[in-house]
Amino acid sequence: MNSNIKSKLKSIVGEANYFDSYEDRLVYSYDGTPTLQKLPEAVLFPQDEEQISQVLKLANQEKFAVVPRGAGTGLSGGSVPVENSVVIVLTKWNRILEIDEKNLTALVQPGVITGQLQKEVEKIGLFYPPDPGSLNVCTIGGNVANNAGGLRGLKYGVTKNYVLGVEMVLPNGELLKTGGKNMKDVAGYNLRDFIVGSEGTLGIITKVLLKLIPKPSKFITILSYFDKLSDSAQAVSDIIAARITPSMMEFLDNTTINCVEDYVKIGLPRDSEAILLIEVDGKGSAVDEDAEIVKNILQKNRASFINTASIESESLKLKTARRAAFSALARKRPTTILEDATVPRSELPLMIEKITQASKQFDVLIGNFGHAGDGNLHPTVLTDERDKNELEKAHRAFDFIFNEAIKLGGTITGEHGTGLSKKHFLEKQVGIPALEMMKKIKSVIDENNILNPGKIFTISPRCEGSLPTRREQIKDLL
Partner 1 sequence: MNQIDKNLELLKILPHDDILQQCMHCGLCLATCPTYDLTKFERSSPRGRIYMIKSVARGQMEINETFAEEMNFCLDCQACETACPAGVKYGRMVETARIVVEKTIYKNKFSIKLKRFLLRYVVASREILKFVSRLLRFYQKSGLQKFLRKIGLLKIISKNLFEIEKLTPEISEIFSDISIKEVEFPNGEVKFKTAFHFGCLMNTMFADINQDTVDVLKYIGCKIITPREQVCCGSLLGHNGDMEYALKLARKNIDAFIKHDYDYLISNSAGCGAFMKDYAHLLEEDPEYSEKAKLFSSKVRDIMEFLSEQKIHLDFQSISYPKHKLELEPELELITYHDACHLAHAQKITSQPREIIKSLCGNNYIELDEASWCCGSAGIYNVVRYEDSLKQLERKIENINRSRANIVLTGNPGCIGQIKYGARKFDLNIQVLHPITFIKNYLVKSL
Task: Give the Cα separation of 74 and 326 in Å (integer).
Answer: 13
Residue with Cβ nearer partner 1 (60 or 255)? 255
Tell which one of 34, 153, 171, 373 touches partner 1 (CB under 8 A). Answer: 34
Binding range to partner 1, per CB under 8 A, among 20-28, 162-170, 179-187, 404-412? 20-28
Tell which one of 96, 330, 365, 430 touches partner 1 (CB under 8 A). Answer: 330
What is the SS3 assignment for the chain? CCHHHHHHHHHHHCHHHEECCHHHHHCCCCCCCCCCCCCCCEEECCCCHHHHHHHHHHHHHHCCEEEEECCCCCCCCCCCCCCCEEEEECCCCCCEEEEECCCCEEEECCCCEHHHHHHHHHHCCEECCCCCCCCCCCEHHHHHHHCCCCCCHHHHCCHHHHEEEEEEECCCCCEEEEECCCCCCCCCCCHHHHHCCCCCCCCEEEEEEEECEECCCEEEEEEEEECCHHHHHHHHHHHHHCCCCCCEEEEEEHHHHHHHHHHHCCCCCCCCCEEEEEEEEECHHHHHHHHHHHHHHHHHCCEEEEEEECCHHHHHHHHHHHHCHHHHHHHCCCEEEECECECCHHHHHHHHHHHHHHHHHCCCEEECEEEHHHCEECCEEEECCCCHHHHHHHHHHHHHHHHHHHHCCCECECCCCCCCCCHHHHHHHHCHHHHHHHHHHHHHHCCCCCECCCCCCCCCCCCCCCCCCCHHHHHHHC
* Per-residue contact flags (x/-) with partner 1 for residues 66 to 85, judged by CB under 8 A: -----xxx------------
Tell me how far, at minimum, the Cβ of 100 lies from partner 1, in Å: 26
Single-letter amino acid, residue 182 = N
Tell me how far, at minimum, the Cβ of 280 lies from partner 1, in Å: 26
Tell me how far, at minimum, the Cβ of 12 lies from partner 1, in Å: 19
Residue with Cβ nearer partner 1 (327 or 429)? 327
Tell which one of 7, 11, 14, 26 touches partner 1 (CB under 8 A). Answer: 26
By CB under 8 A, residue 196 contacts partner 1: no
The residue count for binding partner 1 (CB under 8 A) is 42
Tell which one of 92, 300, 302, 360 touches partner 1 (CB under 8 A). Answer: 92
Residue with Cβ nearer partner 1 (32 or 171)? 32
Tell me how far, at minimum, the Cβ of 390 lies from partner 1, in Å: 13
Binding range to partner 1, per CB under 8 A, among 8-16, 178-186, 383-391, 445-453? 383-391
Check if the beta carbon of residue 354 is closer than 8 Å to that of residue 297. no
Task: Give the Cα separation of 93 and 385 in Å (integer).
Answer: 35
Tell which one of 4, 16, 22, 464 touches partner 1 (CB under 8 A). Answer: 22
Residue with Cβ nearer partner 1 (122 or 447)? 122
* Per-residue contact flags (x/-) with partner 1 for residues 260 to 299, judged by CB under 8 A: x-xx------------------------------------
Computed from CA positions of residues 108, 112, 113, 116, in that sequence, does the dihedral angle turn out positive or negative? negative
* Per-residue contact flags (x/-) with partner 1 for residues 121 to 160, judged by CB under 8 A: -------------x-xxx----------------------
Check if the beta carbon of residue 76 is closer than 8 Å to that of residue 418. yes
By CB under 8 A, residue 242 contacts partner 1: no
By CB under 8 A, residue 351 contacts partner 1: no
By CB under 8 A, residue 402 contacts partner 1: no
Binding range to partner 1, per CB under 8 A, among 178-186, 285-293, 330-338, 469-477? 330-338
By CB under 8 A, residue 47 contacts partner 1: no
Tell which one of 2, 21, 285, 460 touches partner 1 (CB under 8 A). Answer: 21
Tell me how far, at minimum, the Cβ of 66 lies from partner 1, in Å: 18
Site for partner 1 in 95-114 (CB under 8 A): 113
By CB under 8 A, residue 327 contacts partner 1: yes
Binding range to partner 1, per CB under 8 A, among 195-203, 216-224, 331-339, 445-453? 331-339
Exposed/middle/buried for 239, CB within 10 Å: 0-12, 13-18, 19+?
buried
Tell which one of 28, 156, 219, 457 touches partner 1 (CB under 8 A). Answer: 28
**405-to-26, 354, 365, 446 alpha-carbon distances in Å:** 36, 9, 19, 32
Residue with Cβ nearer partner 1 (263 or 400)? 263
Tell me how far, at minimum, the Cβ of 62 lies from partner 1, in Å: 25
Residue with Cβ nearer partner 1 (18 or 457)? 18
> Where along the sequence are the contacts to partner 1 (CB under 8 A)?
21-24, 26-32, 34, 71-73, 89, 91-92, 94, 113, 115, 134, 136-138, 260, 262-263, 324-331, 334-336, 384-386
